[in-house]
Amino acid sequence: MRRVAAHGLLVLVASAYAGHPAVAQGPPAVIVIHAGQLLDRPGRAARGPATIIVSEGRIREIRDGLTPPPAGARLIDLSDRYVLPGLIDTHVHLESDAGGLAALVEDVSDEAPAKTLRALGNAKKTIEAGFTTVRNLGDGSGAALALRDASARGDVLAPRIVDAGRSISTTSGHMDSTLSLAEDLHGGIVQDNLCDGADACRRAVRLQIRRGADVIKIATTGGVNSRIGTGLGAQMFDDEAKAIVDTARLYGKKVAVHAHGADGINLALAAGAASIEHGTMLDDESVRLFKRGGAYLVPTLSTVNGYLERLAADPNAYSAEVMPKIQWRIGITGKNVEKAYPAGVKIAFGTDAGVSKHGRNADEFELLVKHGMPAAEAIKAATVNAADLLGLSAEIGTLEPGKRADLIAVAGDPLRDVAVLKQVSFVMKDGQVAKP
């Protein structure tokens, strides 16, 4: 019922905002974009001034130089800007804004309509920051699933959303919502995302697929933010992880795995995970398994920004059980990138926005560069690599004829200074201007 309520609320919001400038009303027949510098295929050299011709939401042609628009076409003049593909964040939580104890209160006190409106607001911040596609890894109420569909229809201003439904873990694992609650409240919490044993884990996957999940998110280790004293090592058996991956594959779905400890990372990679989220304590065996299976590491370094900002505002923002793990995470953040990138592990851009701040997704670029990735590779992680991980390379990730017209513009050269990506001045998604 919550997903139905979220869907209905989004329909009302879309109706209320019909004709409002913030809601795209559809592109004209032909749009011509003049780009001062064009990075059409991140990982390759920029191609200099270029003209991009867009119609029906897709790129039809790219010409070198600034050529005049045909009669009747709309010209968007970005001749003083650096243009590149719309950015992709492969790890967000659109429903979430708070952290620590405030997040616990938010989660149990807010109804689905409040979560839907919060997800919509966070989605607006995200697309205006230049992120035209996101993978939402955890959707308890159904708000993000409804928002995904509304965005696909063009009803609301939001990124393209790949959604995971409810994240799956074992009982007392990172996704067990009752860990922070008094026992007499447990009966009111939906826990169909918990599984113990291979058969139960197969069922948990099927339930999320029935909800409409695009991807399956699981946790094979403990988490920093969950109130449990059993650490950050493995909390799922090999056969459970294998049952999840095999069942997801049966339905054509990839599996994203929350994992901090090397034991949980390695059992997930051995099972066939498509990505490891966080991957904080990966080891030499992890590197071997990443490269053998072609999985992506999604480092989510931006979590430290969220922790530091919330602690600066309130030293008691997190519970006594969680604080030591947060301090550990702050101290170790980036060591995985320093090990994985030089070894040739594939890296996709993801922030864990919701733990960090929505709309500040581009902060991750500076952290990736700080820990050893060249700017060009960090940008590739947020475009080409991220599109590949999401299975959307035929649609997004580069600017090429036939692909969706998702692009952004910035005032400086991000290959020289990735910080310019924190000030995106123009955003287009599917040929519609999301930020003029």
Alpha-carbon distance 127 to 403, whole Å?
18
Residues 338-365 pLDDT 10s:
999 999 999 999 999 999 999 999 999 9
């299976």: which residue's tokens?
A: 293
Beta partners for residue 74, in sequence order: 31
Strands (E), 348-399: none
Alpha-carbon distance 153 to 254, whole Å?
24
Can you give the pLDDT at residue 86? 98
First to last CA, the chain: 37
On the question of pLDDT at 15 being above 90, the answer is no
On the question of pLDDT at 411 being above 60, the answer is yes
- What average pLDDT does the segment 224-241 reach? 86
Residues 6+ apart with CB under 8 A from 251: 205, 206, 209
Beta partners for residue 432, in sequence order: 429
Q: Is the dihedral of CA 394, 399, 400, 404 positive or negative?
A: positive
Alpha-carbon distance 350 to 405, whole Å?
22
Q: Which amino acid is at 395?
A: E
- What average pLDDT does the segment 142-158 reach? 94
Alpha-carbon distance 424 to 359, whole Å?
11
Can you give the pLDDT at residue 172? 87
Q: Is the dihedral of CA 57, 61, 64, 70 positive or negative?
A: negative
Alpha-carbon distance 214 to 137, whole Å?
10
Can you give the pLDDT at residue 17? 44
Can you give the pLDDT at residue 7? 55
Looking at per-residue pLDDT, the higher value among 32 and 103 belongs to 32
Decide if 123 contacts 159 (C-beta within 8 A): yes
Can you give the pLDDT at residue 26? 53
- What average pLDDT does the segment 214-229 reach? 88
Decide if 91 contacts 352 (C-beta within 8 A): yes
Alpha-carbon distance 301 to 373, whole Å?
13
Strands (E), 56-199: 58-64, 74-85, 87-92, 131-136, 160-163
Span of 158-172, 189-203, 387-401 with lowest mean pLDDT: 189-203
Alpha-carbon distance 17 to 174, whole Å?
38
Alpha-carbon distance 240 to 52, whole Å?
49
In percent, the amount of the chain with pLDDT more than 90 equals 79
Q: Which domains does the chain have, with CATH numbers?
A: 31-86+398-435 (2.30.40.10), 87-390 (3.20.20.140)
Can you give the pLDDT at residue 24? 47
Residues 31-67 pLDDT 10s:
999 999 999 999 999 999 999 999 999 999 999 999 9
Q: Which amino acid is at 360?
A: R
On the question of pLDDT at 182 being above 90, the answer is no
324, containing H or E segment: helix 323-332
Q: Read out DSSP for 118-159?
A: HHHHHHHHHHHTTEEEEEE---SSSHHHHHHHHHHHTSSS--
Which of 241, 276, 239 is CA-nearest to residue 261?
Answer: 276
Mean pLDDT, all residues of the chain = 91
| Stated pTM of the model | 0.92
Q: How would you label 376-410 residue by residue, b for 16+ Cβ within 10 Å and e otherwise?
A: bbbbbbbbbbbbbbbebeebbbbbeeebbbbbbbb
Decide: helix, strand or coil at residue 264.
helix
On the question of pLDDT at 20 being above 80, the answer is no
On the question of pLDDT at 178 being above 80, the answer is no
